[in-house]
Amino acid sequence: MIYETLHNERIPKIGFGTWKIGGELSPNPSEDARSLEALHSALELGYTHIDTAEMYANGHAEELIGQAVREASIPRGDLFIVSKVHPDNIDYKDLLNSFENSMNRLGLDYLDLYLIHWPSSSIPLKESFRALNQLVREGRIKHLGVSNFDVDLLKQARAESETPIFTNQVPYSLADRTYMENGVLEYCQQNDILLTAYSPIKEGQLHVNSIMQSIADAHSVTAYQIALAWLVSQARVITIPMSFNPQHQAENMAAVDIALTDHEFEQLNQIA
């Protein structure tokens, strides 16, 4: 595994996303066994960066992650666990309450990273960071971050945060370069903020063209692995693919070791 090191923290370039673990926007207990199998497989393969949110299955994903981590008996210090607060809950009191609920569901004493999941048009960031800064001072959160923020909002977040913004989690892939085109990627790279790419292979629906397939064939890997390799070869970019399939989980993790040539990287850059 290759890592990014930021603010004395080492984080894997490829982590494990948990959207659809335990359901989608509401719990689906019929998926629990499948979800736990996926989590156990990921942990056994060596994934240590686990990303979730209170929005995922309305908190049930956090419950299942907590269960899987306890059953795996992995030392807490070997894991980097991330959760996100729902945008409706980012005023001072609601955020503190959401954080405690997440911690109870996860069964943890602290989070490595806590994010504002989406910006709110009605709740000032000042109120959100009043709570977030307090949680950092209390040692409940090691790092703060945001998700789906544009450059202007990132600047506001940096101004309100007492500690460096660790990441901005955004959709970013070969098929979606919105946050490259709007300047967020460059801003993050220039200001030591990780860009965490979610939906890096469009939930397994990424269109594979002849360029991707040709490069994949040259490396004896899949086209989806090439899509992930393109992301993690970029400075300050990490990603969090998700799969229930242990083989795909292993392939996703292995993508970090694919060394694209400069020519291959440029070919991929040119894909419209």
Report how far apart, in Å, the C-alpha atoms of 89 and of each of 86, 100, 152, 167, 178 are.
5, 12, 21, 20, 26
pLDDT tens per residue, range 43-74: 999 999 999 999 999 999 999 999 999 999 99
Architecture of the CATH domain 12-204+236-244: Alpha-Beta Barrel (3.20)
Look up 187 and say whether it is catalytic: no
Task: Classify residue 233 by its DSSP letter.
Answer: T
- Of 229, 239, 238, 236, which is closest to residue 269 (Cα–Cα)? 229
The domain locations on the chain are 12-204+236-244
Q: Which of 47, 56, 172, 179 is catalytic?
A: 56
Q: What is the pLDDT of residue 203?
A: 84
Query: Based on the number of CB atoms within 10 Å of its own CB, is 39 exposed (0-12), middle (13-18) or buried (19 or more)?
Result: buried
This prediction's pTM: 0.97
- Of 182, 176, 158, which is closest to residue 239 (Cα–Cα)? 176
Per-10-residue mean pLDDT, the chain, length 272: 95 98 98 98 98 98 98 96 98 98 98 98 97 98 98 98 98 97 98 98 90 98 98 98 98 98 97 78
Please check whether residue 115 is in contact with residue 101, taking contact to mean a CB–CB distance below 8 angstroms. Answer: no
- Of 120, 217, 231, which is closest to residue 170 (Cα–Cα)? 231
* Assigned token pair, 23: 């359901």
b/e map 102-130, b = 16+ CB within 10 Å: bbebbebeebbbbbbbbbbeebebebbbe
Report how far apart, in Å, the C-alpha atoms of 169 and of each of 8, 16, 22, 164 are.
20, 13, 21, 15
Q: What is the pLDDT of residue 204?
A: 82
Q: What is the pLDDT of residue 16?
A: 98
* Assigned token pair, 235: 């400075």
